């Protein structure tokens, strides 16, 4: 019988935010796979490092960061093949995902390649968006407010249109787009309603007013905007 592929969310960084189910699977499964950027350590693996009993078989998937999607697609193809080899031998595989696997998570690339042939289970995780709101002590949305999730790489025009059109927004993948995001928010007069959160739940965490955000932001940062148009008091 083939093994099962588990897409396991490991939360935003603090190991105490891993769910009991994810932890049980991580501890009991012999093969773990995780994405990593070339030349750096895997964030998802770092989160669970203290719980891994070695030796485990590890499949590190190096993802090239290129605008052209083909090199990354090739890397996922190769990883799917490696994972299949274990599943075909009846071994279960845990694929670690930072945050939640199906919320901008790389697990979806593995899922789409393997779900037709193998049993796949997805274990949800605490997403960075809810973690950022918690660390910023700022509710994401209340009553009938509309919350929109916006990727930082969107164009200035698109960001402006969407920010203007809803009550509350979470801007992900801020990184090198911080300057653009700040200028759009400033133009809309929303600076006072915006917070910048960096590495939420880790000891290096920063929660700042957007106006005080650094000019260069790391990849693991987010901007939360809430106009408080439907006050929850």
Residue-wise over 123-142: b if at least 16 C-beta within 10 A, else e? bbbbbbbbbbbbbbebebbb
Its sign, for the CA torsion 15, 105, 22, 60, is: negative
- Contact map string, positions 103 to 142, toward ligand SAM, x by CB under 6 A: xxx---------------------xx---x----------
Near ligand SAM by CB under 6 A: residue from 111, 199, 226, 227:
199
Minimum distance from CB of 171 to ligand SAM (Å)?
8
- Contact map string, positions 67 to 106, toward ligand SAM, x by CB under 6 A: ------------------------------xxxx--xxx-
How far is CA 67 from each of CA 91, 153, 220, rounded to the nearest angstrom? 35, 11, 19
Task: Tell me if 145 contacts ligand SAM by CB under 6 A.
Answer: no
Give alpha helix (H) positions in the chain.
Answer: 20-28, 43-48, 70-88, 107-114, 128-136, 156-164, 178-187
Closer Cβ to ligand SAM, 86 or 182, answer by number: 182
Closer Cβ to ligand SAM, 128 or 194, answer by number: 128
Chain Cα centroid distance, residue 150 = 13
Number of residues that bind ligand SAM (CB under 6 A): 23
Please give the residues from 207 up to 226 whose contact with ligand SAM meets the rule CB under 6 A: 219-222
Q: What is the C-alpha to C-alpha distance for residues 82 and 77, in angstroms, rounded to an integer?
A: 9
Furthest CA-CA distance within the chain: 59
**Which residues make up the interface to ligand SAM (CB under 6 A)?**
12-13, 97-100, 103-105, 127-128, 132, 172-174, 197, 199-201, 219-222
């Amino acid at each position: 019988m083939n093994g099962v592929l588990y897409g396991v969310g490991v939360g935003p960084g603090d190991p105490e935010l891993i769910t009991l189910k994810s932890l049980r699977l991580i501890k009991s499964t012999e093969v773990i796979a995780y994405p990593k950027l070339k030349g750096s350590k895997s964030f998802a693996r770092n989160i669970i490092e203290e719980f891994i009993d070695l030796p485990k078989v590890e499949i590190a998937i190096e993802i090239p960061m290129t605008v052209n999607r083909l090199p990354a697609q090739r890397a996922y193809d190769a990883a799917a093949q490696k994972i299949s080899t274990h599943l075909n031998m009846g071994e279960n595989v845990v694929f670690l995902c930072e945050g939640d696997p199906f919320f901008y998570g790389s697990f979806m690339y593995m899922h789409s390649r393997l779900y037709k042939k193998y049993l796949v289970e997805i274990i949800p995780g605490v997403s960075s968006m809810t973690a950022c709101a918690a660390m910023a002590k700022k509710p994401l949305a209340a009553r009938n407010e509309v919350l929109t999730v916006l990727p930082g790489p969107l164009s200035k025009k698109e960001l402006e249109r969407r920010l203007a059109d809803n009550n509350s927004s979470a801007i992900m993948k801020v990184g090198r787009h911080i300057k653009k995001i700040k200028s759009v928010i400033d133009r809309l007069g929303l600076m006072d309603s915006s917070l910048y959160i960096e590495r939420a739940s880790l000891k290096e965490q920063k929660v700042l007013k957007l106006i005080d955000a650094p000019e260069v932001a790391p990849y693991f940062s987010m901007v939360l905007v809430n106009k408080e148009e439907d006050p929850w008091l």
